[in-house]
Structure 1
């Protein structure tokens, strides 16, 4: 006796690789709330006070920090866990990527910044991405840069977020490959990167 399998037998998708998916009449909400809560608990910060932002606006990190070194394995584990969370949390992308630059020799100050991100996550575990049913197919991108954000090599950081209609579909944060000599040059580099991403997304 033979049997056939159809996708309709699987039922409504609600959980996939750590992503929680809620399918409603108004649209689809994707989050990692369960993963986020487990992440906070894993690093024993569930009882720490929550913070309103993942990182201070004036905070500067450096690889030449003279503070004491910390456990490399722990630091890299925290970075890896947070990077996976950025799959549905563009709000922590910049902060996590900034801390990820110091994995080769993390210091106490770097670990403190990383724990601040986790404390922020602890108070925002239910955040995610909302895709409305009535969204359009317009592709829109936003980009920005911080000028000479790295205090050592004086390079800027490019950030961007791209939307299909009302839903975010791509976001990134990375250090620019060259040192910009002005804020205008830093913005030109960022704009060029954003345009390349838009062209790729249109082709995709």
Structure 2
């Protein structure tokens, strides 16, 4: 999703089929195990599984097109690198405009390779 995209409840939008939307989000959540670059966008869309609107479905469709154009992106663990474990974290306190909840994330690197994220 574009960095300028803001996902909200869209209460006045047209409702879409919940089961189709949930299936698409579920497939994308499965894909996040190997594609951490879509994790945040998928989790934003997963918040609206209860009552998805057309704008939410458009966002999910956009996310599904992204991996096709970025097949060269993924994990790479080169042989012979150092085994220093490094961790990073980031937080934005009450930054969500919808419900004022905080969003945070962490990542851990083993040498120069990503091994864990949240």
* Aligned with 2:33 (options 75, 79, 87): 87
Contact 2:10 2:53 in 1 (8 A): no
Q: C-alpha separation between the residues in 1 aligned to 2:51 and 2:114?
A: 34
Deviation at 1:77, TM superposition (A): 0.7
Q: C-alpha separation between the residues in 2 aligned to 1:82 and 1:72?
A: 15
The TM-score with structure 1 as length reference comes to 0.54
Q: C-alpha separation between the residues in 2 aligned to 1:66 and 1:157?
A: 26
The TM-score with structure 2 as length reference comes to 0.89
* Aligned with 2:46 (options 89, 100, 104): 100
* Structure 1 stretches lacking a partner, 5+ long: 1-54, 173-204
Over alpha carbons, which structure has the higher Rg? 1
Aligned residue in 1 for 2:15? 69
* Structure 2 stretches lacking a partner, 5+ long: none
Q: C-alpha separation between the residues in 2 aligned to 1:145 and 1:118?
A: 27
Aligned residue in 2 for 1:140? 86
User: Which aligned runs of 4 or more in structure 1 are off by greater than 4 angstroms?
Assistant: none
Tell me whether 94-103 or 146-155 shows the greater mean CA deviation: 146-155
Superposition RMSD in Å = 1.6
